[in-house]
Structure 1
Amino acid sequence: MSRRPTARRRPADATAPLAARAPAVTVRHYCQGIGDCHLLTFTKADGSPFRMLIDCGIHVSITDGPALVADIVADLKKETGGRIDVLVVTHEHWDHVSGFLTSNDLFKDFAVGDVWMAWTENPGDPEAAELDKFKGQALAALQGASQKLDGMQGLNPYMKRVRDGLQAVLGFQFGAAGERVRSARDAAAKLSAKPSPTYFEPGGPPQSIEGLPNLRIYVLGPPRDKAALRLEEKASEMFPLASGGPFARALSSALKINQADDPTYIDELSPFERNVGTPLSAALNGEKGADASIDIGAFTRRHYSGPVSSAAPMEDRDQSWRRIDADWMGIAADLALQLDRGVNNTSLVLAFEFIDSGRVFLFPGDAQIGNWLSWKDLKWPVEQATVTTVALLARTVYLKVAHHGSQNATPQKQGLDLLTSPDLSAFIPTNQGDAEKVKWGKMPYDAILTALAAKTKGRVIRADDKWLAGANGKPAFAPPSGSILAVRSEPRNPVRGEGGLWVEVDLV
């Protein structure tokens, strides 16, 4: 692979009818729903194919997910002959890398030229190591909180939602059998013919591929800026992301330490000094507080823990509904948010530019707002010109929509509003039914769907589109249109209507 950018050429066939043009790239999107797997096929100057695979995974909640991924890998083997020139691993989430572990027996027969990852996955990078330390501490704390909540009875509705939310977030980090996502990522890295993956950071020289002189690849993310990594939805909503952070430390300490017996314990988030009040366990056991004249235990049983004797007044018989014993673990929801959004913001973001036409195809992984906002000032000197992110977005004609179309993964002003090409088309790796099953609400988000439909003139394909289940399914638009020359698909089981296995688009 050469790192020297190639000079821009004149478009030789700009006036040719769209249907007569040869595709610049063919993209096969696999349709597992909440998960990503995309095979890009370029034609080299000698006529041979150059294959790039971006991710291969599925969310842990999907029924028979590993079996579906095995079908996908078998199809990849059939299509490519087991040869992948570049494998791109965008980030460390189960729904992007699980296949490299659960189908490792199939992948081990592949020949993979190189594996591309973001700088955040580089064990030799000090900042990546700091981020990795946060992930490790956060995961340990969240696992502990999840296990504790699973064993508790009588949770209030809020804490039930926290418990369910923790299970969903941990699903991105662990498989159904408890496999770590790190094992899946490392399994992908070991597929490379090189000693180690190639790590990228934003703003470096555009990448060029030997045998593909018309192609430049720009790396837009993930950012180096810690604030951008932890940025969630808007500038005012940032969460700490360093050395585990106070949320992880407080939660881990509270889960592991008997605070009453450890004089060194400090709760960074407690509103009171530790010598103020009486431990709940002591009050429930009938022990006296600091003021022996006050029977804290009797007060607690009557007004908090209940039930009490049937001889007590009716209004005092059962006050257990007031209990908030587990509510301190609600901090786990904030920590889970940090972890999930932080990892998504580490997505490796690639923009593919075809030099003769200037047209761009954007694959942002699961980049969320912080990642997107970090691109705006990037510039690349190319020959005698300067390429900016704004120019790349303006020339983008195809978008792999980030994070399954969720609300905070595609910004408006610094994202959709900058995608101004009249030929824009898009693909969303999503399944609305599965998103509802794991209580994610509206995914894909209605406002993003509406904006994309308007910008693309309806050229949006979803992994859960009903027409993909049929043997001769057709999208709502008729190709050639915009950047799409042709569409092909293959259903999983057309008799049972199980949805699509893949949808393939020829792009120009």
Structure 2
Amino acid sequence: MAIKPAVTVRHYCQGIGDCHLLSFPTPDGSLFRMLIDCGVHVSIKGGPALVADIVADIEKATDGGKIDVLVVTHEHWDHVSGFLTSKDLFAGFDVKEVWMAWTENPADQQAVELDKFKAAALTALQGVSKRLDAAQEPTAHLAGIRDGLQSVLGFQFGAAGERVRSARDAAAGLSKTRPTYLEPGKPPLSIEQLPNLRIYVLGPPRDKAALRLEEKAGEMFPLAGGGPFARALAAGLKMNDGTGDADYIDELSPFERHVGTELSAALNGDKGSDPRIDIGAFVREHYAGPVSHPAPTEDHDQSWRRIDADWMGIAADLALQLDRGVNNTSLVLAFEFTDSNNVFLFPGDAQIGNWLSWKDLKWQLEQATVTTADLMARTVYLKVAHHGSQNAMPQKQGIDLLTNADLSAFIPTNQDDAKKVRWHEMPYDAILTALAAKTNGRVIRADDKWLADKNGKPAFVTPSGSIRAVRHAPRDKARGEGGLWVEVDLA
């Protein structure tokens, strides 16, 4: 006898990006539909057209775009771009509710403070990016920073310079009602049409320390520390552009502002304030270029010593804070079915700080106390966070807690696309190996080769574990090879 699925999940396979359509059967025979995110990374060739195909498919699959709940996990382009680039297609949808994290709430003071940091950081990073783009012969170090900034800013602005905020707001505007802003620790959400379902909010955390954590528990990059970094970059840009004023201070400078001689002045012949040293001559002879009378062991051209632009190197640290800090603001939902006790986990792009913040959460229900460890132990299906990157999930407080024998997983990633943007370990091999062992091989990836073949099948046998059935649809050939979507019935 076939087991009726608790939910059918259609994962779209745009590569680097998230879009998931969940269809829950209700007692009256209808379907309750939830859409989680809709976007693609800016680097994906033909990405907007591919997303348009996805939106058209969603409309067809939901009886003309009837969505009961739209979930927007966080403010990154590869999760929300479709709401802007396919705005005209979404305009015909009927979206009843929009759920977002507390971090997107304009009436929340902590969210406002976080937003101020993001705005200052983006302004500074844009300025540095433009300056590096205009550099004639940047050092290898600065060229690497330039390329990295382009990737980070792509998450925030899109290919044509659209702000990710515009895409997020377009998603929020699809419902006639104000978005519901969610935070962890509150009683689980219930849906009237689905009496057997409880939804727990695990993240993002309120704890600022948790928002700061990135790759390892022992390494912290303070989000608040981005303030001085952003101000220092802004100061440097102003000073180098000649627009600085007496009140503009570089907080990270190792010297008092009145000490020393401006490089531009020294290059123009200024001898400096110390009569014993002709600082201008010294700079020209030993720093700026050709030496008039080099010593036998000295290079004729001393320009290799120049570090004029190296102050922009702190942009790498600021970009890291911004990118991963935003990922740590991901909305994390755990779906618990009370009739089976099974849990389905959708963590957005949550990184280490977000994961670690769940450890001590607990919910007191009438029947019992539910803990995060309990939810993790009962998880039978995982949407892998952040495309399976190295910091997509911790070991001890993440994958080690996923102990259910029926566990299966989906990874929204395309390894070839990741390599094109220099993410050479996405998905991360150690996470792939651990998941393969935990799931007995029941891992589906958005770039699985069998998805391009209409008759293709996964390597594992179905039904198996939590997966009762698998269906898929290849892309239109005009959009390249690969699958458009893969759909799993879960129980």
CA contact (8 A) 1:131 1:243 kept: no
Distance 2:297 2:257 in 1: 35
Distance 1:65 1:412 in 2: 33
Aligned residue identity for 1:365 = G
Distance 1:335 1:54 in 2: 29
Encode CA deviations 1:371-396: one digit per residue, 9 max, x unaligned. Answer: 00000111111113100000000000
Match of 2:237 among 240, 255, 266: 255
Q: Secondary structure at the match of 2:469?
A: strand
CA contact (8 A) 2:238 2:244 kept: no
TM-score by length of 2: 0.97
Verify: 1:26 aligned to 2:8, yes or no.
yes
1:166 match: 149
Quote the offset at 1:111 in angstroms.
0.1
Distance 1:163 1:180 in 2: 20
Distance 2:131 2:420 in 1: 23
Alignment of 1:286-297 (within 5 A): 286-297=269-280
Q: Secondary structure at the match of 1:292?
A: coil
Match of 2:55 among 73, 76, 82: 73
Distance 2:53 2:391 in 1: 31
CA contact (8 A) 1:70 1:99 kept: yes
Distance 1:272 1:484 in 2: 62
2:173 match: 190
For structure 1, the 5+ residue unaligned runs are 1-16
Distance 2:484 2:322 in 1: 31
CA contact (8 A) 1:44 1:211 kept: yes
Verify: 1:205 aligned to 2:181, yes or no.
no
CA contact (8 A) 1:471 1:494 kept: no
Encode CA deviations 1:240-266: one digit per residue, 9 max, x unaligned. Answer: 323951111111121124689733332
For residues 261 and 502 of structure 1, do their structure 2 counterparts lie closer, same or farther at Cα, with a shift above 3 Å needed?
Answer: closer
CA contact (8 A) 2:8 2:489 kept: yes
Match of 1:421 among 380, 391, 404: 404
Alignment of 1:205-224 (within 5 A): 205-224=187-206
Aligned residue identity for 2:30 = S
Verify: 1:485 aligned to 2:465, yes or no.
no
Quote the offset at 1:291 in angstroms.
1.0
For residues 261 and 330 of structure 1, do their structure 2 counterparts lie closer, same or farther at Cα, with a shift above 3 Å needed?
Answer: closer
CA contact (8 A) 2:50 2:479 kept: no
Aligned residue identity for 2:131 = K
Match of 2:439 among 434, 439, 456: 456
Verify: 1:40 aligned to 2:25, yes or no.
no
TM-score by length of 1: 0.93
For residues 36 and 473 of structure 1, do their structure 2 counterparts lie closer, same or farther at Cα, with a shift above 3 Å needed?
Answer: same
Alignment of 1:377-456 (within 5 A): 377-456=360-439
1:58 match: 40
Alignment of 1:463-478 (within 5 A): 463-478=446-461
Match of 2:340 among 351, 354, 357: 357
Q: Secondary structure at the match of 2:205?
A: coil
Encode CA deviations 1:292-334: one digit per residue, 9 max, x unaligned. Answer: 3322222222221213559996844212122111110000000
1:130 match: 113
Quote the offset at 1:41 in angstroms.
0.3
Distance 2:482 2:216 in 1: 36
CA contact (8 A) 2:285 2:292 kept: no
Deviates more, 1:311-320 or 1:159-168: 311-320
The aligned length equals 489
For residues 261 and 478 of structure 1, do their structure 2 counterparts lie closer, same or farther at Cα, with a shift above 3 Å needed?
Answer: closer
Q: CA RMSD in A?
A: 1.7
Verify: 1:348 aligned to 2:331, yes or no.
yes
Q: Secondary structure at the match of 2:68?
A: strand
Aligned residue identity for 2:207 = D
